[in-house]
Amino acid sequence: MRRHRNVKIVATLGPASSTYEMIRALFEAGADVFRLNMSHGVHEDIRKRHEIIRQVEKDLGRPIGILADLQGPKLRVGVFANGSEELVEGAAFRMDLSTAPGDAKRVNLPHPEIFAALEAGTSLLVNDGKIRLRVGACGKDFADCTVEVGGTISNRKGVNVPDVVLPVAALSEKDRGDLEFACELGVDWLALSFVQRPEDVIEARSLAKGRAAILSKIEKPAAVKAYDAILQVSDGIMVARGDLGVELPVTSVPPIQKRLVRGARAQAKPVIVATQMLESMIESPVPTRAEVSDVATAIYEGADAVMLSAESAAGKYPVEAVSTMNAVAMSVEKDPTYRSVIEASRVVRRESVADGIVAAAREIAEATNIKAICCFSQTGNTAALVARERPHVPIIALTPLMSTARRMALTWGAHCVITPPQERFKGAVLAAVGAARSDGFATEEDQIVVTAGVPFNVKGTTNILRVAPCDERLISRVDPE
């Protein structure tokens, strides 16, 4: 199955999308990567969905990426004697370590690490920011607050602390168990929640031991501040706009999104824009105009992927949501303005031989009638470098490793093909030509660009560029071996 677009679609699986028939329908509608949300469902549910995805992959003969999204630590208040209370603006309200049921004046906050980080003037947000408290006096086991924005507070509502870096690890005990389970299953990407510092990512990487790539979710102000350092140690990025919009003014999220996308593009690392992209399609078969514009904006910015959450996991119209996202992407990528915007935002990096090779491949493709850029990649890095150039022709990423092909399902424009290991460059050219023709990117009258590294099957050796005819009879017998 050949995709006719460059941006990838990530679809979250859940109660509305757990059968073989539905998961296959979502893939055929346009999903490239499936997200398994470790916050919901038991391990056995996750295992069954993973098995179905791999069966669909086998039946359709196309690599499919799987992203396991770790929950991260959840900071919540305790319970109330009456189940809930109404907090009034200007009133005093205490949070403390006492386990007594809460009332209109206080409630348990069973997180001493929060109290350790608080200081006067810090904001506490409850229930996705619907309630805002300002800390006055505080100590190691209490915080006396003033209600700045009131509302109903009820049992176990979530708490956000946007103003400080909390001494809380990004991986809870549950996350550690989920991480090991997901890696044993064989997922391709791990999405890490509650990232505040690069050390959080380094810890997750040490536990994954190379079994999955690490994608950092940027959802906290501390992560935005430390973004460059976090990006350096991550394999990919998710712009998690939901939590960003809780802990930061919602008006700051669009410029942050643009900065995060551009930063990841510059480093040739996949970046997903996520949260509420087609939110109304949870209940409606058609999206709002604003939602369509939101998806289009992420694509114009050059995001590698756009993501559906509850729309495909629990909504009434999961296939329609994927189809809509696919249609928006197709429409944007046909727009002449799209090419000019993408090219204007291209980051020029010439720090290695590989950088020069992929830039030359893109420039040759733009100057001549080249039908595709074919790159051989052991790890996916060469395909990512080609994708950073955002060429106007398709990228055919060839690899002997299914694990690499699955990870590249998240890379902009990468059409992944499994090919036998190559020992000679001439054989690689013939394999590239065969893939371009068999998958419908070129005919025997056309030409393609081939990039590879010699010696083969060694990562980081991209050093050859060849313009090759797609008529195998014209590939010279004196071609370099």
**Catalytic annotation, pick one of 35, 49, 157, 205:** 35
Report residues of the chain scoring pLDDT below 70: 1-2, 460, 476-481
pLDDT score recorded for residue 472: 83
- Measured in degrees and rounded to the nearest 5, phi and psi for residue 276 equal 60, 30
Neighbours of 445 (CB within 10 A): 10
Q: Is residue 5 among the annotated active site residues? A: no
pLDDT score recorded for residue 61: 94
pLDDT score recorded for residue 173: 94
Beta strands in 140-181 (DSSP E): 142-149, 151-154, 159-160
pLDDT score recorded for residue 372: 96
pLDDT score recorded for residue 3: 73
pLDDT score recorded for residue 454: 77
Q: Which residues 6+ apart lie within 8 Å of 327 measured at CB?
A: none
SS3 293: helix
| Listed residue (384, 371, 365, 392) closest to 304, CA to CA | 384
pLDDT score recorded for residue 460: 67
Contact assessment for residue 162 and residue 126, using Cβ atoms and an 8 Å cutoff: no
**Catalytic annotation, pick one of 275, 324, 399, 462:** 275
Q: Which residues 6+ apart lie within 8 Å of 79 measured at CB?
A: 101, 102, 108, 155, 156
**Catalytic annotation, pick one of 62, 157, 217, 466:** 217
Dihedral (Cα; 232, 65, 245, 73), 10-degree rounding = -80
Query: pTM higher than 0.85 for the full model?
Result: yes
pLDDT score recorded for residue 351: 78
Cα–Cα dist 402/397, whole Å: 12
Q: From residue 437, how far is each of 447, 468, 481 by CA, in Å?
A: 10, 12, 22
Using left for φ > 0, alpha for ψ between -120 and 50, and beta otherwise, residue 394 falls in: beta
Q: Which residues 6+ apart lie within 8 Å of 390 measured at CB?
A: 6, 302, 342, 343, 346, 362, 412, 413
DSSP letter, residue 309: S
Q: Are strands 305-308 and 271-274 parallel, antiparallel or unpaired?
A: parallel
Contact assessment for residue 203 and residue 177, using Cβ atoms and an 8 Å cutoff: no
Contact assessment for residue 463 and residue 361, using Cβ atoms and an 8 Å cutoff: no
pLDDT score recorded for residue 170: 93
Q: Are strands 370-376 and 33-37 parallel, antiparallel or unpaired?
A: unpaired
pLDDT score recorded for residue 479: 56
Q: What distance lies between CA 280 and its chain's CA centroid?
A: 21
**Catalytic annotation, pick one of 47, 48, 74, 76:** 76
DSSP letter, residue 195: -
Q: Is residue 76 among the annotated active site residues? A: yes
Contact assessment for residue 373 and residue 6, using Cβ atoms and an 8 Å cutoff: no
For 75-115, the pLDDT digits (tens) are 999 999 999 999 999 999 999 999 999 999 999 999 999 99
Amino acid at 280: S
Residue 363 token pair:
């420039």
pLDDT score recorded for residue 481: 54
Burial (CB count within 10 angstroms: exposed 0-12, middle 13-18, buried 19+), residue 456 = middle
Q: What distance lies between CA 24 and its chain's CA centroid?
A: 21
Bridge partners (DSSP) listed for residue 190: 68, 214
3-state secondary structure 29-86: HCCCEEEEECCCCCHHHHHHHHHHHHHHHHHHCCCCEEEEECCCCCCECCCECCCEEE
